[in-house]
Amino acid sequence: MESRFGIRVREGAFWAVIRIADKRATVFGKPHPIPVTLETLPQFVRNIIDDHMQEHPTCDLMDVLKGQKSFQLALGRTAKAQGGGA
């Protein structure tokens, strides 16, 4: 049986998630607001983020979590692309 850990990011917050074997990923723990100070997070959440950043050092996850980049911009979406433009 294989387990995988990660985080699920939404606009303004993120959660830790776990997926066991072939089951769907499940959120566990409380939501963490964005922007976040990494030092205030539980160690297991920091470990998940650190592991992800080691595997994907050029991703913009840290910019999003620190509030330096919007969630929508990180996804490559604009207001116009979402139907919110004039």
What average pLDDT score do residues 15-34 get?
90
Is residue 18 predicted with pLDDT exceeding 80?
yes
* Mean pLDDT value of segment 3-27: 90
Q: DSSP letters of 15-29? A: EEEEEETTSPPEEEE
Q: Whole-angstrom Cα distance, residue 25 to residue 5?
A: 9
pLDDT, one tens digit per residue, over 41-81 is 999 999 999 999 999 999 999 999 999 998 888 888 654 44
Structural contact between residues 8 and 27, judged by C-beta atoms closer than 8 angstroms: yes
